[in-house]
Amino acid sequence: MMLLQYTKSDVYAYQLLHYFITRYQYQMVRIQNQKKDFWLLNPAHAQYPVICISDETYVDEMYLRNVHRAILDAVGREGKLLLLNTNSSSTAFDREYVVQYPVPDAMKDIASAANFSGIEQAVFDVEDRQSECASLMRSLEEYEAQQLKKVRRNMRIRTPKVTAGIGILCIIGFAAVQACVMYFDDLATGLIASGAYYKMSVVAMKEYWRIFTTGFLHVDIFHLLMNLSVLYSIGVLCEKLYKPLHYAAIFLLSMWIGNMFAFCADGNILNVGIGGGIFGLTAAYFTALAGNGSLRIPAVRNSALRMGLLNLFLMMVPDVSMIGNVGAVAAGGFLGVMLGNAKRWKSLKLHSAISFVLLTVCLAFFAGRIQRVEPLNKELDARIIQGFEEAGWDGYAETMEANFQWMYEKGMVR
């Protein structure tokens, strides 16, 4: 069997392939009717998403334009083509859509222009070209096999632990609501007893903990299942983008901030649900995709758009606090930037942290100054008090009645 005779140009090409694939995560692109060249793609690279390694003496510009354009359109990117020519007679040139560098003469220029560190040492002459090319091909095959294993491992169905934990808390909260409703034989009283948010109870009874506990409660099975399905859809995505503690922090703080917005800006409503946490996670998901450049990929962008539309549907559900959801989105956006992995957002992380702290301080300040509750709902208040009395919670009912009456008399309710 005749062995292939590798030229110096072939060695340079394989050395460059090994460098770009293993160090900068470029991927080989197979082109129909491909000439003697190699095409590489990395949509995340800001300057050169497409690279061509060729040893052609004559540059077929029509071929280069068509292939370059087709690859860019496939991933929804724009960018100049980096053409690395390993032919000894090639020369450098810079045109509108392509820049060519001769290899290995212009390695320092490539490193400087394209910020490919260490590329000067990637290309070198060898005595045994056959062994060098064989070794590089084996190394690339092993690397691609490892990457394939990682992809398959990531594609396996994993239990989203934090999302599952939140779901379990919601199910427990739902069970508590149903038990309380059956015990008090009244929906409003059962919700209040299980920890739901009711502005009159928060202000008159100083039960600020309701702003947090209300998120894990749901009125009926449809409300619970709808929220859990949306939580799972966004949760499995966010658990891949954020550390477990960061994910939990984004969810809990977004939910709390959203409910604080509702407390400061909305009227006297009885409200439950994890909508704020879901909106916060969605905002963090979008910031993560923007930070790592994935939004440039059409498939990812379409998936994110569907997720956004799903959240928009949630926002249109009756009896949902719009201002609360807006506050949750703001909190999730700030936290997503702060806790994300985008290195290029170093200064933005600091600004987001400052903004989040200022937002929290302002909410706490305004929440502490709220003394009025409106609109007044004396019928609902009386029904809740009566429900606690009939259930034997006389002490709590008397305190509630006295505090409510004090607010009525002092003009704290209008």
DSSP state, residue 37: E
Q: Distance between alpha carbon 115 and the CA centroid of its chain, in Å?
A: 28
Following DSSP, what letter does each residue of 47-115 receive, concatenated? S-SEEEEE--SS--HHHHHHHHHHHHHHHT----EEEEE--TT---EE-SSEEEEETTTTHHHHHHHH-
- The answer to whether 203 and 211 are in contact (CB under 8 A) is no
Model confidence pLDDT, tens digit, residues 199-216: 999 999 999 999 999 999
Task: Give mean pLDDT, residues 330-338.
Answer: 93
Q: Distance between alpha carbon 78 and the CA centroid of its chain, in Å?
A: 23
* Residue 232: how many other CB atoms lie within 10 Å: 15
Q: Distance between alpha carbon 331 and the CA centroid of its chain, in Å?
A: 13
Average pLDDT of the chain to the nearest whole number: 86
Q: Helices in 242-274 by DSSP H: which ranges?
A: 244-265
What is residue 1's predicted lDDT score, i.e. its pLDDT? 39
Task: Give mean pLDDT, residues 188-193.
Answer: 91
H helices, E strands: number in the chain: 16, 8
Q: Distance between CA atoms of 262 and 325, rounded to whole angstroms?
A: 8
Pick the range with the lowest mean pLDDT from 32-41, 80-89, 132-141, 307-316. 307-316
One-letter identity of residue 131? S
Q: Distance between CA atoms of 414 and 136, rounded to whole angstroms?
A: 79
Domain boundaries, the chain: 8-155, 161-403
Reported confidence tier of residue 191, pLDDT bands at 50, 70, 90: very high
- The answer to whether 230 and 310 are in contact (CB under 8 A) is yes
Give 228's strand partners. none
Q: Distance between CA atoms of 18 and 26, rounded to whole angstroms?
A: 10
* Residue 197: how many other CB atoms lie within 10 Å: 28
Q: Is the predicted pLDDT of residue 59 greater than 70, yes or no?
A: yes
Task: Give mean pLDDT, residues 281-305.
Answer: 78
- Reported pTM: 0.64
Reported confidence tier of residue 332, pLDDT bands at 50, 70, 90: very high
- The answer to whether 314 and 230 are in contact (CB under 8 A) is yes
Integer-rounded Cα radius of gyration of the chain: 30
The percent of residues above 90 in pLDDT, for the chain, comes to 40
Q: What are phi and psi of 255, to 5 degrees?
A: -60, -45
Model confidence pLDDT, tens digit, residues 374-406: 877 888 899 999 999 988 899 999 999 999 988
DSSP, collapsed to helix, strand or coil, labels residue 28 as strand
What is residue 342's predicted lDDT score, i.e. its pLDDT? 74
DSSP, collapsed to helix, strand or coil, labels residue 29 as strand
Q: Distance between CA atoms of 260 and 128, rounded to whole angstroms?
A: 70
Q: Is the predicted pLDDT of residue 318 greater than 60, yes or no?
A: no
Model confidence pLDDT, tens digit, residues 65-88: 888 988 887 777 788 999 999 988
DSSP state, residue 3: P
- Candidate ranges 29-33, 60-64, 163-167, 337-341; pick with highest mean pLDDT: 163-167
The label of the residue with tokens 């290309």 reads: 123
What is residue 296's predicted lDDT score, i.e. its pLDDT? 67
**E-assigned strand segments in 203-336:** 270-271
Which pairing describes strands 270-271 and 197-198: parallel, antiparallel, or unpaired? antiparallel
What is residue 116's predicted lDDT score, i.e. its pLDDT? 86
One-letter identity of residue 155? M
Q: Is the predicted pLDDT of residue 317 greater than 90, yes or no?
A: no
Q: Is the predicted pLDDT of residue 322 greater than 60, yes or no?
A: yes
Tokens of 412: 């704290």
Model confidence pLDDT, tens digit, residues 235-250: 988 988 899 999 999 9
What is residue 413's predicted lDDT score, i.e. its pLDDT? 47
What is residue 18's predicted lDDT score, i.e. its pLDDT? 92
CATH no. of 161-403: 1.20.1540.10
Q: Is the predicted pLDDT of residue 157 greater than 60, yes or no?
A: no
Task: Give mean pLDDT, residues 9-21.
Answer: 92
Model confidence pLDDT, tens digit, residues 101-135: 999 888 888 887 777 888 888 899 998 888 888 89
Reported confidence tier of residue 280, pLDDT bands at 50, 70, 90: very high
Model confidence pLDDT, tens digit, residues 260-272: 999 998 888 888 8
Reported confidence tier of residue 414, pLDDT bands at 50, 70, 90: very low
Which H/E stretch holds residue 41?
Answer: strand 37-41
Q: Is the predicted pLDDT of residue 2 greater than 60, yes or no?
A: no
